[in-house]
Amino acid sequence: MLSDIEIARSATLSPIADIAAKLDIPADALSPYGRFKAKISAPFIRTLADRPDGKLILVTAMSPTPAGEGKTTTTIGLGDALNRIGRRTAICLREPSLGPCFGQKGGATGGGQAQVAPMDEINLHFTGDFHAITTAHNLLSAMVDNHLYWGNALRLDPRRLVWKRVMDMNDRALRQIVTSLGGNGAPAETGFDITVASEVMAIFCLAADLADLQTRLGRIIVGYNLDGDAVTCADLKADGAMTALLKDALEPNLVQTLEGNPALIHGGPFANIAHGCNSVIATRAALKLADYVVTEAGFGADLGAEKFFDIKCRKAGLKPAAAVVVATIRSLKMNGGMAKSHLGEEDLGALRRGCENLGRHVENVRGFGVPTIIAINAFSQDTDAEIAELRAFAAGLGVEIALCRHWAEGGAGAEDLARRVAEMADSGESRFAPLYPDSLGLWEKIEAVARRIYRADQVSADKAVLTRLKRWKKAGFGHLPVCMAKTQYSFSTDPERLGAPEGHTVHVREVRLSAGAGFVVAICGDILTMPGLPRHPAAERIGLTADGDIDGLF
């Protein structure tokens, strides 16, 4: 059997102008990066404003496990399948982060016959967007330190700086550092986050255009002065230069699936740290260019889908027409307590127990008023009895289920899912509404997510957290949504509590105001904003073949 990367290399890709033509994008609206990828120009995107929107379809998933769920693969397979049945469809995905590519996760461009290409380039430097975001973030960091060095006219309190540095790599050694040693200013303790956790990344993915981007960048709070007042990026006059660095990056990237269908890949905030969705600009452009747009939100529905609905859709005025919850029988059995080494064995008891996790996610998604279907990403070792058990469970939920074989068969293996999704989207039955209103208090919003999505009995926080929330409300930020940062592996804050736990406590240990992005981050449990590499990182297996091709990336 061919590997994912061998399948990708054996595919015949079309020139990117031919892919653009499928969405009626003229060649002069493209900025090509080689033969197979390009940026879509901002002037062309502005001409789309008066077109009607297509139908937005969200692909989310059960809680992730090491057994794999295949959410990105299913997103691509569904997009290919919708095109196969005659529905003009575009796919919208996030850009992969280098940290996970070289860490534990590996590449993030799908798998088997359901991939976006060119795989190596997308997984590595792509069109340089993440480098631009990293540079813009660190320019502001440098300007903060420079302001302190040259007299500190804004009276920034060095003890109350909140702006760190970032890099697009997992590096635990940089979580806490000391800067300005050797007489280069006053030494200070700070640290690094990963680029996908940067507020600049969040702003990049929520901005409507360049003007909105600069306004949002200007609102970034870098720290507080000696009187306790916020000092912003605009106060430091850094917003213009940062926008200049991001000018080209803000144009969405166009690539293709292995079946030659258009995919827009743009932006990439993490879902367990940030809001986990591709850029608003790419999604809006796709909705003007296609009749159906298939997008995904990171990790399980408790993280990615909740933030997609409560942050991205709320801020961008998007109204999803349908949702797909992806699961695999292997992951369901693992959530039911089965060891990874035995997942190839039939175990209906473990499957039943694991279905509690899937059911919780389906219930949560449907709670937003969006018609929902379960997509089972099939493996060859799935047994007839297991499939029948899963169909019976779905029937008990009153939700449709589609068995998909897109990994092996491409779009042809997801046509049943595509037909059902198209019917749901066309039905007009979506009654989408966010989980909470803007008027609800910040702490009450945190409680709403913890109780209604995570099923926590208790939500706790230190007094300092509650004091900050009250201060931010008084300063005019009380209307903002909340962005929960917690483990992706469980509904609780304990990654070992699989299934669908109830009666647990969600403790908020820290809150951060992302005034530019327009949300408040609530950090729960032991989640880290700078991940580390595993004992045996994927980087150990990556290299070049004798022909100069990249090997081991996926």
- Catalytic positions are 71, 73, 94, 105, 271, 299, 379, 407
> CA of 22: how far to CAs of 220, 263, 547, in Å?
39, 11, 33
Omega cis (within 30) before 100: no
- End-to-end CA gap in the chain: 15
200 by DSSP, 3-state: which? helix
SS3 labels along 236-275: CCCHHHHHHHHCCCCCCEEEEECCCCEEEECCCCCCCCCC
Q: Are strands 177-179 and 165-167 parallel, antiparallel or unpaired?
A: unpaired
Q: Which residues contact 123 (CB under 8 A, 6 or more apart)?
A: 96, 101, 107, 108, 109, 553, 554
Token pair of 26, please?
């003229």
Q: 34: phi > 0 → left, psi -120 to 50 → alpha, else beta; which?
A: left
Return the bridge partners of 57, or none: 294, 322
Cα–Cα distance measured from residue 171 to residue 273, given in angstroms and rounded to the nearest whole number: 16
Cα–Cα distance measured from residue 233 to residue 246, given in angstroms and rounded to the nearest whole number: 15
Q: DSSP character for 513?
A: E
116 by DSSP, 3-state: which? strand
With the C-alpha atoms ordered 237, 241, 246, 248, is the resulting torsion angle positive or negative? positive
Cα–Cα distance measured from residue 391 to residue 504, given in angstroms and rounded to the nearest whole number: 30
Helix (H) or strand (E) holding 213: helix 210-218
The residue whose two tokens read 């060859």 is 380
Q: 129: phi > 0 → left, psi -120 to 50 → alpha, else beta; which?
A: alpha
Cα–Cα distance measured from residue 543 to residue 550, given in angstroms and rounded to the nearest whole number: 6
Torsion angle, CA of 453/458/464/470, rounded to 10 degrees? 60
Q: Which amino acid is at 96?
A: P
* Contact (Cβ atoms closer than 8 angstroms) between residue 327 and residue 295: no
Token pair of 508, please?
């908020």
